[in-house]
Amino acid sequence: MVNKRQPAGAAVLQPDVTASISRAFFAEWARVGFGTLSIESVARRARVGKAAVYRRWPSKVAMASELLHAIGTGMAQVPDTGSLEGDIGAFLDGAHALLRRPLVRRILPDLHAEMGRSAPLAKAIRTNLQRDRRAMGEALLRRAIARGELRASLDLELALDLVAALLYWRMIVTGLPTSGTYLGDLKKLTLASLKQMGGHPRGQERAPP
Amino acid sequence: MVNKRQPAGAAVLQPDVTASISRAFFAEWARVGFGTLSIESVARRARVGKAAVYRRWPSKVAMASELLHAIGTGMAQVPDTGSLEGDIGAFLDGAHALLRRPLVRRILPDLHAEMGRSAPLAKAIRTNLQRDRRAMGEALLRRAIARGELRASLDLELALDLVAALLYWRMIVTGLPTSGTYLGDLKKLTLASLKQMGGHPRGQERAPP
Amino acid sequence: MVNKRQPAGAAVLQPDVTASISRAFFAEWARVGFGTLSIESVARRARVGKAAVYRRWPSKVAMASELLHAIGTGMAQVPDTGSLEGDIGAFLDGAHALLRRPLVRRILPDLHAEMGRSAPLAKAIRTNLQRDRRAMGEALLRRAIARGELRASLDLELALDLVAALLYWRMIVTGLPTSGTYLGDLKKLTLASLKQMGGHPRGQERAPP
Amino acid sequence: MVNKRQPAGAAVLQPDVTASISRAFFAEWARVGFGTLSIESVARRARVGKAAVYRRWPSKVAMASELLHAIGTGMAQVPDTGSLEGDIGAFLDGAHALLRRPLVRRILPDLHAEMGRSAPLAKAIRTNLQRDRRAMGEALLRRAIARGELRASLDLELALDLVAALLYWRMIVTGLPTSGTYLGDLKKLTLASLKQMGGHPRGQERAPP
DNA sequence: AGATAATCGAGACGGTACGTCCCGTCTTGCT
DNA sequence: AGCAAGACGGGACGTACCGTCTCGATTATCT
């Protein structure tokens, strides 16, 4: 048995207090935005003293970095359905489901805006979340190339942007609705565009019938 | 004869004060974000009394709406170069130049985040700026259809998203650099993708050589 | 003949505007006190533009000095009834009537307070008003000495203070009421005290019966 | 056993902050007058947040009332030297010393002026300070009557006014200096005047030799 | 009669203070 | 030691006025 006594009267950060703060943090973020977000309001919502928050994280940015990291680790799931069409479909379905959650819709653009302002936050997010997601996307594309579904000459950078950009733009930036067929059409467009990438552009220049 | 007399001794808001406030407003926005932006700091930076600001706009949101509108009106320029390739190139060049400006890079994602929170701001922006830009984009595509460069069956919604989304994603969201060739490759990709839209997807399914 | 032409089309400060401002000035002074008194509120009450006030006086203190001087000149009336008792009675009756006026009750202590703060105001008041009143009091006492009603050896300074101090203290400082008999008793006390001044104090030391 | 527990973690107003505010309050009062006195300047001078002031007193008047009361309680000292001459001398010496203090010279007339304007302040001061001082004065006079030094028939009201009025008038209202002999002469005058009060005025009417 | 210039009201200007609210830090006393 | 409660210095809120300054419109004099 481990004799790991705390130095007499030593208390330990209580996990349920931490969890309560974490929930309150994201709820408040979604409600008022990162800039306006105050530790005090988080503590109030978590029914916790302010000191309990500051004992855990030194700042708002540190709090966001750590909590987002904890969430993000389980998020970059690689599907590998066996075909490019299946992989793209699964990826877009997942992203669609994620971006439909109100909390995410509110927090994501705010996070990107704050990253433009706070270098530490930007670094933390880019190295912890975006890198993983980008690596996952690259793997997906390389598998398709290996299967012969895509040309080896395609521009990976551009292809990755293509896969991610449209859904984000539609759902987060424009705020327009994604009608029943939109997601399906988007899948088709993405697939078709990927397939022609790396080819000779002249081939497509004939006027469509 | 115009009977446009002021009511005797009426003082008038001075244009140079308005201009100074406007400059300070955007500078502060870029610096701290919309949520944290305080009227007091704007007035201080503009070397102006707080009352001079409140005399002009009742709130931060009203201020943003009007000032962005004033800026945005001159922004939705339709190029009409005579060919789809030229139009797309001109549009992306313009957007690229715009998104390279530091002030815009800071403010744009913040604006989108705030629009998700403030319905009045969202409405003002969407009806004043996005509607115009979207209309301009539609006109561009319809001209290309009329010229026979694009199929009449293409999904306009999706096509518009395609044209706008990638550059925004790359420059604003990921924050990654747009290398010398990136913009050119993006133009080619956009053009090729547009041209195949509305066609039978099966035709492109043959494995690339 | 004096060739004192105005430079063609010269306008002149309108007397009724000046009078209206003067009335409003004292009314406002009585209402809020000198420190809180603002030119703006005076102009508002006088239904006059702010500039009309500033065109006449450069400051609040200058305004008070000039207006009080204009009022005070007609105030230091020497009665000369032929006897000390008559003179003292007349003086105290006059002072009593003056200090009963609400405007005076309000303004006088405020003026004294402000004089302790503003050297220019203090100088203006002391040389314009207090000097005259003090001279008048001295003349009154000297006449009584000449008549043999008072000793020549009495201390003029102290005697003057005695005549003025009690009524001011009672009416202005303590704010207690001056009952019907108070003023009469005060006259008797003042008279008796003056008469014994300058004499040998031992004479009065016998115990009262 | 005293059950005076605070409700768990209750914070308590810090006495040194209160003292700092009090000092700053009187200093500012003496500097600019009660009307012009701003809470903000008091807080600034005390190097304290505005909230720390408002946490203690709801208004300027309440602040003045309480602080003056706190000061005034230790002020109404009854000397009781055993003789009227000694008592009067001690009282006037004390008053002289008090009225010589610059802070008092500035604040006192301002306080009286403000009392004419603010009923709550007037009530607070009259019941807390003036009542005590007046009671102390009455006791002094009654002792003298008991000793046979003064007539029982003298008018207490008038006598009290006499004792207090002259020094206040001289030092505060006229602002004239109190030369070396002035205070001594004043004592003699006061004493002599008191002794003759309540007697037959005719007895003193014979012309002084 | 017409020209002219100072005075008039109105009000925008840069400021300061209001009294409230909330921030992040720090202290206190209970568990 | 961890916890809640809350006082602390500080800063922004949006309003109300401050004294200064700038307007057209008015008005009284002088040509």
Residue B70 (CA) to nucleotide F24 (C1'), in angstroms, measures: 30
Angle at A119 between CA A116 and CA A121, to 5 degrees: 90
Question: Does the beta-carbon distance from A174 to B161 stay under 8 Å?
Answer: yes
Query: Does C152 have pLDDT greater than 70?
Result: yes
Instruction: Map tokens 């008018």 to a residue.
Output: D155
- Tokens matching residue A37: 């977000």
Residue of D nearest to C159 (CA): D189
CA of C188: how far to CAs of C27, C181, C202, in Å? 36, 11, 22
- Rounded Cα distance between C34 and C36, Å, is 6
Q: Check whether C128 has a pLDDT greater than 90.
A: no
Lowest mean pLDDT among C11-20, C132-141, D130-139: C11-20
A31's tokens: 């409600």
pLDDT band at residue B133, thresholds of 50, 70 and 90? confident
Question: Which chain D residues touch C113 with a CB distance below 8 Å?
Answer: 33, 109-110, 112-113
Half-sphere exposure of C201 (CA within 13 A, CB side): 13
Identify nearest nucleotide to residue B49 by CA to C1′ distance: E14
Determine the pLDDT at residue B175.
85
**For B26-36, what is the mean pLDDT?**
96
Q: Is the pLDDT of residue D182 over 50?
A: yes
What distance lies between CA D208 and its chain's CA centroid?
A: 37
Give the other-Cβ count within 10 Å of D192's Cβ.
19
pLDDT band at B201 (very low <50, low <70, confident <90, very high): low
- Whether D50 sits with its Cβ under 7 A from any strand E atom: the answer reads yes
Q: How far is B98 from chain A (nearest CA, A)?
A: 16
Mean pLDDT over B196-204 rounds to 67
Q: In this complex, which residue's CA is closest to the C1' atom of nucleotide F7? A: D11
Q: Show Cβ contacts of residue B24 under 8 Å, excluding neighbours closer than 6 positions.
A: B42, B43, B45, B46, B48
Q: How confident is the model over A23-43, as pLDDT tens digits?
A: 999 999 999 999 999 999 999
pLDDT band at D5 (very low <50, low <70, confident <90, very high): very low
pLDDT at C206 over 90: no
d(CA B163, CA A165): 11
Does position B199 have pLDDT exceeding 90, yes or no?
no
Minimum mean pLDDT among A153-162, B194-203, D81-90: which range? B194-203
Rounded-to-integer distance, Cα B110 and Cα B34, Å: 7
pLDDT, tens digit (0-9, with 9 covering 90-100), for B62-115: 999 999 988 876 665 767 999 999 999 999 999 999 999 999 999 999 999 999
Task: Give B-chain residues touching A188 at CB under 8 angstroms.
Answer: 201
Q: How many CB atoms lie within 10 A of CB D117?
A: 19
D149 chain-C contacts, CB cut-off 8 A: 207
Q: Do chains A and C touch by CB distance (3+ pairs < 8 Å)?
A: no
Residue that has been written with the tokens 């170069």 in this structure: B81
User: Residue B196 pLDDT > 80, yes or no?
Assistant: yes
**Structure confidence at residue B179 (pLDDT):** 84
Residue B135 pLDDT exceeds 80: yes
The whole-angstrom separation of Cα C9 and Cα C30 is: 39
* Chain C: partners with 3+ C-beta pairs within 8 Å: D
Check residue A70 and give its pLDDT: 79
Q: State yes or no: pLDDT of C201 exceeds 70.
A: no
Distance B25 CA to E21 C1' (A): 24
Which of the four pLDDT bands, split at 50, 70 and 90, describes residue A207? very low
Q: Give which of B38, B88, B145, B174 to mutate to test A binding, by max A Cβ within 10 Å.
A: B174
Contact residues, chain B, for A130 at CB < 8 Å: 174
**pLDDT at residue A71, as a whole number:** 76
User: Counting Cβ atoms within 10 Å, is residue D40 exposed (0-12), middle (13-18) or buried (19+)?
Assistant: exposed
Of C105, C113, C195, the CB nearest to D204: C195
| pLDDT at residue A197, as a whole number | 94
Q: Which amino acid is at C93?
A: D
C51–chain D nearest CA distance, Å: 23
D12 strand F contact, CB < 7 Å: yes
Q: Look up residue D200 and give its amino acid.
A: H
Predicted TM-score of the model (pTM): 0.86
Please say if the pLDDT value at position A16 is more than 90. Answer: no
* Amino acid identity at B39: I
Q: What is the pLDDT of residues D139-180, one digit of tens each?
A: 999 999 999 999 999 999 999 999 999 999 999 998 888 988
| B169 CA vs F12 C1’ separation (Å) | 35
What pLDDT does residue D194 have?
97
C window 81-140: Cβ near strand F (< 7 A): none
Task: Give me the residue from C34, C158, C175 closest to D189, CB to CB.
Answer: C158
pLDDT at A126: 86
Predicted confidence band at A74 (pLDDT cuts at 50, 70, 90)? Answer: low
Q: How far is the CA of A97 from the C1' of F1 (A)?
A: 43
